[in-house]
Amino acid sequence: MSHDTTAPALGVGMVGYAFMGAAHSQGWRTAARVFDLPLHPVMAAVCGRDEDKVATAARKLGWAATETDWRRLITRDDVQLVDVCTPGDSHAEIAVAALEAGKHVLCEKPLANTVAEAEAMADAAARARERGQLAMVGFNYRRVPALAYARELIARGRLGALRHVRVTYLQDWLVDPEFPLAWRMQREKAGSGALGDLGAHIVDLAQFLTGEPLVGVSAQTETFVKERPLPSAAAGLSGAAAGGGERGPVTVDDAALFTGRTSSGALASFEVSRMASGRKNALSVELNGEAGSLAFDLERLNELEFHDHAEPAETAGFRRILVTEPEHPYLEAWWPPGHGLGYEHTFVHQARDLVHAIAAGAQPAPSFADGLQVQRVLAAVEESAEKNAVFTPVAQSD
Ligand code: SOE
């Protein structure tokens, strides 16, 4: 495995160092040790408000320096790329300022908490593009080799005209009603609940895999647990000890269910929940086309199921492709066939792809415009759920 430190440096400055910050750090630390990169990512500085905590994070995650104010981070001369890993309420402010300060930007998903913020970010990215700076959203699941390969098969026409897109993303970390009211359950911090957190991923994936935008959605959302204990300290995904017995309102959805259509007319269905007991990080996708079908399950992420409908009926059926061959996306640089990859590798691939795009001066995908499109779908889902056009089955009277 290569580690070409003679390539020109690309200084990275990251804001936030919790779950996503740790995952992105893994990407920045590893990308140049696995892939031959035209630029060498240097983990210049990490930023967080608490001086001691950010210093501990920097040591643990491998950052050379720390800042406690993101405004200072984005003006550092040794930072050319700002990686935004904060909760959604600060994405727009930091990303736009970083672009205006002349930096490239990687921003965690969902791009923003509102369509208006996402529009401002996409506008700032378009202006920055003219100055040669690039912006990308961190929809990391596009970089699961099996899903990148699925995209290739679909683009090559192996599924033919698409009829169905079926995607679910289920977790269960909110089943316990005593789980504290972390930032992910507060609208002003997170924008929405399972919808923005998990739904953003699967809307992006559906659009990425099919290559088509979603047009028209119809939705229902639910908040099953309306109040939760207030956390005693800022709670991460794993929560923090609740203090004092006080409770506060949950202001986002716990689950969302929606249907839609792709621009070519395929029917699409989506379900997201953080209340699906027993499901930890279960993202599953099935696409059915007139020439074949594909199925994927993130809990078995090295596999892709493929059905070729042209095969004789007596032997046709879903068969498992182990996506670990050097011919598969990203796999040429990793382990021998059969030695699978995991969740963290998607962040390595994300760093790799962004570095290549920056070196080539090419727009990386997904762009802020792609992130905005996802945000518009999420807003349409919320609007549909609010208007609640639900019809009750009525018994016919004799
Ligand atoms: C929490 O639900 C979460 O960490 C998401 O925020 C991530 O985007 C997803 O990859 C895993 O689950």
Q: What is the pLDDT along the chain (398 residues), one digit of tens a residue?
A: 445 678 999 999 999 999 999 999 999 999 999 999 999 999 999 999 999 999 999 999 999 999 999 999 999 999 999 999 999 999 999 999 999 999 999 999 999 999 999 999 999 999 999 999 999 999 999 999 999 999 999 999 999 999 999 999 999 999 999 999 999 999 999 999 999 999 999 999 999 999 999 998 999 999 999 999 998 754 555 555 555 689 999 999 999 999 999 999 999 999 999 999 999 999 999 999 999 999 999 999 999 999 999 999 999 999 999 999 999 999 999 999 999 999 999 999 999 999 999 999 999 999 999 999 999 999 999 999 999 877 778 888 76
Handedness of CA 203, 209, 215, 217 (dihedral sign): negative
Q: Which of 308, 304, 278 is nearest to 290 (CA)?
A: 308
CB 146 within 8 A of CB 294: no
pLDDT of residue 1: 40
Instruction: State in Å: Cα 231 to ligand 1 middle.
Output: 20
CB 316 within 8 A of CB 308: yes
pLDDT of residue 4: 62
Radius of gyration of the chain from its Cα atoms, rounded to whole angstroms:
22
Instruction: State in Å: Cα 82 to ligand 1 middle.
Output: 21
Which residue has its alpha carbon closest to ligand 1 atom 3?
Answer: 197
Buried b (16+ CB within 10 A) or exposed e, 141-163: bbbbbbbbbbbebbeeebbeebe
Q: Which of 156, 326, 180 is nearest to 248 (CA)?
A: 180
Return the ligand 1 atom nearest residue 109 CA.
8
pLDDT of residue 389: 74
Which residue has its alpha carbon closest to ligand 1 atom 2?
Answer: 197
Return the ligand 1 atom nearest residue 194 CA.
2
CA distance 125 to 131: 10
CB 275 within 8 A of CB 174: yes
Residues near ligand 1 (Cβ within 6 A): 19, 171, 197-198, 237, 281
Angle at 368 (CA atoms; ends 30, 4), nearest 5 degrees: 25
CB 140 within 8 A of CB 350: yes
- Cβ-in-10-Å burial (0-12, 13-18, 19+) of 8 comes to exposed
β-strand partners of 167: 270, 285
| Cα-to-chain-centroid distance, residue 246 | 33
CB 380 within 8 A of CB 117: no
Instruction: State in Å: Cα 169 to ligand 1 middle.
Output: 10
Q: What is the pTM of this model?
A: 0.95
Place of tokens 């549909």: 384
SS (H, E, C) the chain: CCCCCCCCEEEEEEECCCHHHHHHHHHHHHHHHHCCCCCEEEEEEEECCCHHHHHHHHHHHCCCEEECCHHHHCCCCCCCEEEECCCHHHHHHHHHHHHHCCCEEEEECCCCCCHHHHHHHHHHHHHHHHCCCCEEEECHHHHCHHHHHHHHHHHCCCCCCEEEEEEEEECCCCCCCCCCCCHHHCHHHHCCCHHHHHHHHHHHHHHHHHCCCEEEEEEEEECCCCEEEEECCCCCCCCCCEEEEEEEECCCCCEEEEEEEECCCCEEEEEEECCCCCCCCEEEEEEEECCEEEEEEHHHCCEEEEEECCCCCCCCCCEEEECCCCCCCCHHHCCCCCCCCCCCHHHHHHHHHHHHHHHHCCCCCCCHHHHHHHHHHHHHHHHHHHHCCCCCCCCCCC
How crowded is residue 398: how many other Cβ atoms within 10 Å of its Cβ?
A: 3
Instruction: State in Å: Cα 33 to ligand 1 middle.
Output: 26
For 257, list phi and psi in degrees, rounded to 5.
-135, 125
CA distance 151 to 394: 43
pLDDT of residue 326: 98
Return the ligand 1 atom nearest residue 19 CA.
4
Which of 198, 237, 374 for mutating ligand 1's site (highest number of atoms within 8 Å of CB)?
A: 198
CA distance 382 to 249: 19
